[in-house]
A and B are shown apart, each in its own frame.
Chain A
Amino acid sequence: MNCDHCDKPAVVHEIVIKGGVSNEVHLCSEHAIAAGYPLPIEQPIADIFPKLGSVAKVEAAKSKERSAKCAACGLTFTVFRKSATLGCPACYDAFMPMIEKVIESAQDGATHHLGRSPVGGVEIERVQNLRVKLMHDLEVAVAAEHYERAAKLRDELKALDSQTS
């Protein structure tokens, strides 16, 4: 069976029966990641056999996810999981923290934009984000005794500070 959104074979299949109505979702690995589904091969064994005590917690979190809705465009998180596309820019804030997990998983753990920005206002935040990242990387490099890398990162921090001072 192919993915609901492209011609690739589906690897994630979900059937939800609610009020007697069956709703099927079939997604390829890329669209499954985009919609926040764990891929079958990546699903930890602990997720397949959850500890009994955690079932209630998981159910509560799932219920919160299901009821999440973007106030700006009306998209529900359930529909997002099916379509793998968001409805509007405000969805990014409306679906926190679920969307955070989706992005981190797709972006190899990255959590902040470090690239260009359109105009000056957000440039300050970009520099702040970049600085936080450099500081974090510097700490990691020092702890791992990668002194060459640490020196390079320190130089980058200095350069950034001199640019913004």
Chain B
Amino acid sequence: MSQVGPDSDVVVTSRVRLARNISGFPFISRASNPVRQEIMRVVRRAVDQSCNEKNSSPEMRWIELQSAPSRDRILLSERHLVSRHFANSDGPRALALSKDEHSSIMVNEEDHLRIQFLCAGSRLSDAFKAAFTLENALANCTNFSFHPRWGYLTACPTNVGCGIRMSAMLHLPGAQIMKETDRIKRAAKELHLAVRGYYGEGSESIGDFFQFSNQTTLGATEDALLEEFNGIVLPRLIGYEREARTAALTRYRSRIEDIVFRSHANLSAARLLTSDAATKDLSRMRFGVVMGLLPVELATIQRLLLQVQPAHLSLIDPRSLESEEADREVRATYVRQSLTRGPTDTK
């Protein structure tokens, strides 16, 4: 989340997630806690054998969420490594996480395994390869539920087949200014894409960030799904947003400059700041940075977008946990210092 990559002006992150269930076990909704523990044992053994012993995949560390402190669970959710539902639910569940945090496996989420590769910028092909490398390594050590007609079986029948979810988190301030967001959402729906908010399923969009993902998982090969999403849909979305930005800047330059510089001024001067307000202003600054209006590094904005989240902020300064006012004060101080340390010429 805090890094930049190809097409980072529009694409914040790319993610490929594979849903798999271990053969011979009930799905999570019918699995008792002892059964869930057994599933964790099987997956951990597979992770140890495939990743940590054979070195065929990145080395993974194992985090048991049921015994992890609440802050650590929220931290993982803020980094988009686990779903908010997974962070807050009950029962035996774990996360296997690579050192660079690109590869991860949620164990006992809606499915036994959610194998994920997450990276900055538009790198869906890389994420696709890496996710399947990890999946293949695990498949050599354990059997996944599979049906000759339905493919990989998932707890929710709508994910059946390839069990693949490809997502791209896009920053769409241009479309928002040109009032094109609803049209994009409608077009996405027609293409069987889901459009979600900043934290995935059930979350609202904050700061013009939208997550687009495929919904079709059956009746096409994984490569065909990738080609459709990464080769056709994503470039069009990126192109559309870039055109909207250019049009917006041509038509409303003064208004956009006003919004961008006010946000910069806000964040450079605020003494109390909520995470939502910080995210909104950082989003506007991000727009200014990628359009060449504001001489701030995009990586600084990306880092701040992550650091202003409550759990991350409490790592920087634990005083933020003392009260709501302390949380806002610590955030404002941190953002202000981060922005004034770097180039701040706003001409």
Contacts and interface: CB of A to CB of B under 8 A. Distances in A.
Contact of B220 (A74, A110, A122): A110
Contact of B161 (A34, A115, A133): A115
A107 B27 contact: no
Q: How big is the A interface, by class?
A: 35 or more
Interface in A91-136: 92, 99, 102-103, 106-118, 122, 125-126, 129, 133
A82 B160 CA distance: 19
Contacts of B162: 113, 115-116
B147 A89 contact: yes
A86 interface: yes
B151 A117 contact: yes
Interface stretch (B63-71, B137-145, B308-316, B328-336): B137-145
Q: How big is the B interface, by class?
A: 35 or more
29 contacts: A8-B202, A33-B158, A73-B26, A75-B30, A85-B27, A85-B28, A86-B27, A86-B155, A86-B156, A86-B157, A89-B21, A92-B160, A99-B157, A102-B158, A107-B160, A107-B217, A109-B219, A110-B216, A111-B218, A112-B218, A113-B148, A113-B150, A113-B151, A113-B152, A115-B161, A115-B162, A115-B220, A116-B162, A118-B139
Given A107-B217, A113-B160, 18 more contacts: A6-B201, A85-B156, A87-B27, A89-B23, A89-B27, A107-B160, A107-B218, A108-B192, A110-B216, A110-B218, A113-B149, A113-B150, A113-B162, A115-B151, A115-B152, A115-B161, A118-B144, A129-B148
A7 interface: yes
A102 B201 contact: no
Interface in B35-55: none
B219 A108 contact: yes
Main secondary structure of the interface of B (DSSP, over half): loop
A126 B161 contact: no
Contacts, number: 121
A92 B147 contact: yes
- Which 7 residue pairs across A and B have the least CB separation, nearest first? A110-B219, A113-B151, A87-B30, A106-B158, A125-B148, A7-B202, A115-B162
Interface in A58-95: 72-75, 83-89, 92
A107 B219 CA distance: 8
Interface in B98-113: 110
Contact of B149 (A8, A85, A115, A129): A129
A72 B151 CA distance: 19
Contacts of B147: 89, 92, 113
A88 to B, nearest CB: 4
A85 B158 CA distance: 9
B59 interface: no
Which of A87, A89, A106 counts the most chain B CB atoms within 10 A? Answer: A89
A157 to B, nearest CB: 15
B220 A89 contact: no
Contacts of A129: 148-149
A50 to B, nearest CB: 26
Main secondary structure of the interface of A (DSSP, over half): loop
A85 B146 contact: no
Interface string B68-99: 00000000000000000100000000000000
A106 B150 contact: no
B221 interface: yes
A122 B148 contact: yes
Which of B30, B194, B222 counts the most chain A CB atoms within 10 A? Answer: B30
Contacts of B110: 85
A72 B24 CA distance: 11
B342 to A, nearest CB: 37
Contacts of B217: 107
B153 interface: yes
A135 B178 CA distance: 45
A115 B23 contact: no
A6 B155 contact: no
B141 to A, nearest CB: 12
Contacts of A72: 26
Interface string B145-186: 111111111011110111010000000000000000000000
Nearest to A133: B219
Contacts of B153: 89, 92
Nearest to A93: B147
B26 A106 contact: no
B157 A103 contact: yes
A114 B220 contact: yes
